[in-house]
Amino acid sequence: MTAQIIEGLPVADRLRADVATEVARLRAEHGLQPGLAVVLVGDDPASQAYVKSKGEQSKAAGMHSVTHLLPGDTTQETLEALVRDLAADPAIHGVLVQLPLPKHLDEKPVIELIGPDKDVDGLHVVNAGRLVAGLPALVACTPTGCLILLKATLGDLTGKHAVVVGRSLLVGKPIAQLLLAENCTVTMAHSRTVDLPGICRQADILVAAVGQPRMIRGDWIKPGACVIDVGINRVPFDNPEQAAAGKTKIVGDVNYKEALQVAGSITPVPKGVGPMTVAVLLHNTVLAAKRLAGVS
């Protein structure tokens, strides 16, 4: 038997439709139009595509949406001045600075300037701390999307052993906290973990967020486990002729073909976790707008 495929698109579509309904209500009943500002520095093609999609989808949901495209040689001072303006702009309720920034820029002071209330990425120390403390927080979009898919697939997660591979601030750390809050037993694994395959084999829920194409092999997976693949890696085509022609495709951190034979359920790449990220971003922006405006 092959694994159940966890499709992200229909779940993301439903969440986006709910967001659009809530935006329409806020506009009609409170004259409040949630506003999202997205900032991109440089011309990385993948980041450009993500940012374009964030702008289009926020507009489609009826939100106020602005996108700032800055050249790759933008200075720290210029970026900080823009973020300071957006943080003070009453029409903007969410500010997202697309990561990674070019190497000469430091993201930490930029995230501090966004402030916790407009930090729709959940990257500000106050939101990270609130998440750990179990207080209402803006939580990073991709981990929230993963949790929605997990609960839709498995229902109650209590008592399950979740192994999170990767410890980034954007994915690994917040997803571990979310799973802990769902009463999972959580193991955090990373590049220095000893016997990573053995640790992964213990997982009822395996979350892969390492950024290494097809790193997690089929025999690292416990039969019947639920596998959430957060990786988005661009690799040459398997077919040598197409690869020679420079053709590339997107694969996850999990060897999908192998995993399909072992796992109970698995998110595909693309169209698994990916579509959830922007839908949750819109949801977070509405949440931020309501909190900033004091509207329930």
Q: How many Cα neighbours within 13 Å face the side chain of 240?
A: 0
Residue 114 found at the interface with ligand GUN (CB under 6 A): no
For the beta carbon of residue 231, count every other beta carbon within 10 angstroms.
25
Is 202 an active-site residue?
no
Which listed residue (98, 160, 229, 253) is catalytic? 98
Distances 230 to 155, 161, 246 between C-alpha atoms, Å: 20, 18, 25
Q: Which residue is nearest to ligand GUN (CB)?
A: 99
3-state secondary structure of 260: helix
Distance CA 211, CA 224 (A): 24
Q: Is the dihedral of CA 251, 122, 115, 17 positive or negative?
A: positive
Nearest approach, Cβ of 54 to ligand GUN (angstroms)? 9
Distance CA 118, CA 83 (A): 11
Nearest approach, Cβ of 40 to ligand GUN (angstroms)? 9
DSSP label at residue 159: T
Nearest approach, Cβ of 168 to ligand GUN (angstroms)? 10
Site for ligand GUN in 64-103 (CB under 6 A): 96-99
Nearest approach, Cβ of 1 to ligand GUN (angstroms)? 33
Question: In terms of CB distance, is 171 or 196 closer to ligand GUN?
Answer: 171
Is 121 an active-site residue?
yes
Question: In terms of CB distance, is 141 or 208 closer to ligand GUN?
Answer: 141
Distance CA 93, CA 65 (A): 10
Give Cα 255 to chain centroid, integer Å: 20
Residues in the chain: 296
- Among 96, 90, 37, 33, which Cα is nearest to 62's? 33
Site for ligand GUN in 251-280 (CB under 6 A): 277
Question: In terms of CB distance, is 126 or 243 closer to ligand GUN?
Answer: 126
Nearest approach, Cβ of 217 to ligand GUN (angstroms)? 25
Q: Which residues contact 147 (CB under 8 A, 6 or more apart)?
A: 175, 178, 179, 182
Nearest approach, Cβ of 100 to ligand GUN (angstroms)? 7
Question: In terms of CB distance, is 163 or 276 closer to ligand GUN?
Answer: 276
Count residues binding ligand GUN (CB under 6 A).
9
Question: In terms of CB distance, is 119 or 204 closer to ligand GUN?
Answer: 119
Is 33 an active-site residue?
no
Site string for ligand GUN, 120-149 (x = CB under 6 A): -x-------------------xx-------
Token duo for residue 120: 């729709």
Which listed residue (121, 204, 229, 253) is catalytic? 121
Distances 176 to 18, 56, 180, 236, 248 between C-alpha atoms, Å: 26, 30, 6, 32, 32
Catalytic amino acids?
54, 98, 121
Where does this chain bind ligand GUN (CB under 6 A)? 96-99, 121, 141-142, 170, 277
